[in-house]
Amino acid sequence: MNLSRSALLLLLTYSSVCFSQEEDSSDEKAEMEIFTMADVSCFSGIWLPTGNAKLLGPHPIVGVKVGAVKKRFDFGALIEFRFIRSANTYQINYNNNTVSTHNFLGGLLSVYLNYDIAKLSNSEIYVIGGFGWDGFDAIEKDPPTYPKSITINSFNYNLGIGGRFHFSKKSKSPYIGTELIYNFIDYENPKGTSIDGNTITIRLMYGSIFYWIK
C-alpha cells in the first residue's frame, strides 16, 4: 500500500515537472518569436510636391521596405525611387552658368518606425515616423557637355498614417496596405529656380509578416 502511494506520488511529481518545463519552453519560444518576425513589402504610388516644388510635378514611385516586428512596433528601412522628367523646366547653376533642365530621377533612403494604434480582426491602423536622405539628379553626367552630375539633396523627416489588411488571421500572413506620408524637406538650389516645399507620398503596398528565424 505504501509502495503504491509512493509510486503514485512520484508519477504526479514527474508529470508536474514535465508540464512546467513545457510551459516555460513555450513561453520562451513565444518571447523569442516576437523578436524574430520580419515585415517585407514592395510598394508603388505617387509623390506630390507642394509650395515652389510644385513645378517639378507629380512623379510615380516604386520601392521596398524591410523591417522587424515587436508587438505593436514595426521598425526598419526603405528605399524609394521616383522617375519621369519634371513637369516644368527649372534652372540650376552649373559651373557659374545658368542651365535649364527637365531632368528628374530621384529617391529616398530612410529609416522608419510604425506603431499600431488599432487592431481590427485581421487588419491594423498605425502611425508612421521616419527620417533619411532625399534627393534627385538635376543634371546627369554626359561628357563633354556635362562632365559631372548635379544632385539636389535634402534631409527628410516624415510623419503619416497607414493601414494593413491581412488575407488571414495567422501570424505568417500576406497583406495589402496603404500609407499617406507628409515629408518635411528643403531642397536647396542656389542661384537657380526656387524649389523649396514639402511633399506628400501615397503608397500602395503588398507584403508579408513572417518568422525569419525558426
Instruction: Look at residue 189 in the predicted model and tell me its pLDDT.
Output: 94
Average pLDDT across the chain, whole number: 85
Query: What is the arithmetic mean of pLDDT over 137-142?
Result: 88
Tell me, rounded to whole angstroms, the distance of Cα 192 from its chain centroid. 32
Cα angle, residue 40 at apex, residues 165 and 105 outer, rounded to 5°: 105
Give the model's confidence band at 35: pLDDT under 50 very low, under 70 low, under 90 confident, else very high. low
By CB atoms closer than 10 A (0-12, 13-18, 19+), residue 183 is buried
Task: Kindly tell me if the per-residue pLDDT of 6 is higher than 50.
Answer: no
Q: Which three cell numbers stand for residue 190?
A: 542656389
Closest CA to 66 of 212, 183, 200: 212
- The number of residues in the chain equals 214
Give 92: exposed, middle or buried? Use CB within 10 Å, 0-12, 13-18, 19+: buried
C-alpha span between 139 and 45 (Å, rounded) = 25
Per-residue confidence band for 57, with pLDDT thresholds at 50, 70 and 90: very high
pLDDT attached to residue 58:
97
> Comparing 146 with 202, which gets the higher pLDDT?
202
Q: 3-class secondary structure for 112-147? A: EEEEEEEEECCEEEEEEEEEEEEEEEEECCECCCEC
Tens digits of residue pLDDT in 140-181: 888 878 888 999 999 999 999 999 999 987 656 799 999 999
Mean pLDDT of 187-201: 95
- Residue 55 is classified by DSSP as G
DSSP annotation string for 170-187: SSSEEEEEEEEEEEE---
pLDDT at 36: 66
What is the percentage of the chain residues whose pLDDT exceeds 90? Answer: 67
Please compute the mean of the pLDDT values over residues 35-54 and round it to a whole number: 92
Pair type for strands 199-211 and 105-120: unpaired
